[in-house]
Structure 1
Amino acid sequence: MEFDVIQGDIAAQSADALVNAANTSLRMGSGVAGALKRAAGSGIDDEAVAKGPVELGGVATTDAYALDAEYVIHAAAMPAGGESTAESIRDAAKNTLIEADALDCESLVVPALGCGIAGFDFEAGVRIICEEIDAFEPDSLADVSLIAYDDDEFERMRDVAAEVGA
């Protein structure tokens, strides 16, 4: 499946579903989760926590509240208080795509799951996510964007995605 790499604040994006880089507790703290929580309002955190905990690599879906989306898919690429692994990132990315497709989403915005605070190497994590998107065969999903917040991450993400086939 084809996908794009974009730069910006995930909370400012418009799509059927936005993806939160979550931990297994689904409590929304800082980083991507913090940006989504601030823009959506506190109800999103309450709903997410009520749906947790989830297995490592699992997902839970909430309403998007004040975000310009229908859903937020919370993808648990890391354990609460722990670090992500290649397997947890792969599972979280794959389960996110399956969930978005099951919800009949056409568009999806995905951050670098399991990288950053989760401690996994950025380029290696992005490669795993790109491989999962590239291999996915959707029914409804047609527009997937991988999002980076800053210039440096955007350049690195775009380079990795180009190697994979975006």
Structure 2
Amino acid sequence: MRIELVQGDITEQHVDAIVNAANSSLLGGSGVDGAIHRRGGPAILEECRALRASRYGRGLPPGHAVATTAGNLPARWVIHTVGPVYREEEDLGGILRDCYTRSLAVADELGATTVAFPLISAGAYGWPHDDAIFQALTALRDAVTQVEETRLVLFSGALYTLAAEIATRG
């Protein structure tokens, strides 16, 4: 699988699936989650409400992933995953990596071959950027998947530069 670093807006990625760094409610929020819901339109929220009414009455647990339509986005699907909230005293890196690998498993079920990821848990959930990038790249490099191309979409130039530095270290 090819891993590409991209500086830009994840809602503008022309891929089969866009991954949403969702909150467990699946009902929209701030940051990436809010941007995806706003740009994707009401069809995404409608399917998220249906998921809450059926399989995820208590919300989507951290590290899990589920798909909906992409609505008005330039993708076919949105794969929602909930990252862990960073806690210095507890190693939750495995759950963060699960967000990437379980999203890829959902992409495989859908038949998606191109997937764009945000940097999960690195915003409001407080994960240090350097480690969030390391965890993302580790999970993507180690994944067993039919997905041919993944993009790690970094909103700022500073994050893109940091990711490029970390990626070259291997």
User: Do both share a fold (TM > 0.5)?
Assistant: yes
Q: CA RMSD in A?
A: 1.4
Q: Which residue of 2 aligns with 1:155?
A: 161
| Deviation (angstroms), 1:137 | 2.4
Q: CA contact under 8 A between 1:17 and 1:72: conserved in structure 2?
A: yes
1:137 aligns with 2:144: yes
Cα distance in 2, alignment partners of residues 109 and 23 from structure 1 = 18
Cα distance in 2, alignment partners of residues 101 and 121 from structure 1 = 29
Q: Which residue of 2 aligns with 1:111?
A: 118
Q: CA contact under 8 A between 1:48 and 1:60: conserved in structure 2?
A: no
The amino acid of 2:93's aligned partner reads A
Cα distance in 1, alignment partners of residues 45 and 164 from structure 2 = 31
1:120 aligns with 2:120: no
Q: Which runs of 5+ in 1 are unaligned?
A: none
Q: TM-score, normalised by structure 2?
A: 0.87
| Deviation (angstroms), 1:43 | 2.6
1:146 aligns with 2:155: no
Cα distance in 2, alignment partners of residues 160 and 46 from structure 1 = 38
| Deviation (angstroms), 1:125 | 1.1
- C-alpha distance after superposition, 1:68-88 (max 9, x if no partner): 11100001113xxxx243222
Cα distance in 1, alignment partners of residues 121 and 48 from structure 2 = 18
Q: CA contact under 8 A between 1:19 and 1:109: conserved in structure 2?
A: yes
Aligned pairs for 1:19-98 (under 5 A) are 19-51=19-51, 52=56, 53-78=59-84, 83-84=85-86, 85-98=92-105
The amino acid of 2:136's aligned partner reads I
Identity of paired residues, percent? Answer: 28
Q: CA contact under 8 A between 2:23 and 2:29: conserved in structure 1?
A: no
Q: TM-score, normalised by structure 1?
A: 0.89
Q: Which runs of 5+ in 2 are unaligned?
A: 87-91
| Deviation (angstroms), 1:112 | 0.4
SS at match of 1:147: strand
The verdict on how the C-alpha distance between 1:2 and 1:162 changes in structure 2, with shifts beyond 3 A counting, is farther
Cα distance in 2, alignment partners of residues 23 and 148 from structure 1 = 19
Cα distance in 1, alignment partners of residues 20 and 118 from structure 2 = 7
Paired residue total: 159
Q: Which residue of 2 aligns with 1:3?
A: 3
Cα distance in 1, alignment partners of residues 67 and 46 from structure 2 = 12
The amino acid of 2:43's aligned partner reads G
Q: Which runs of 4+ in 1 moved over 4 A?
A: none
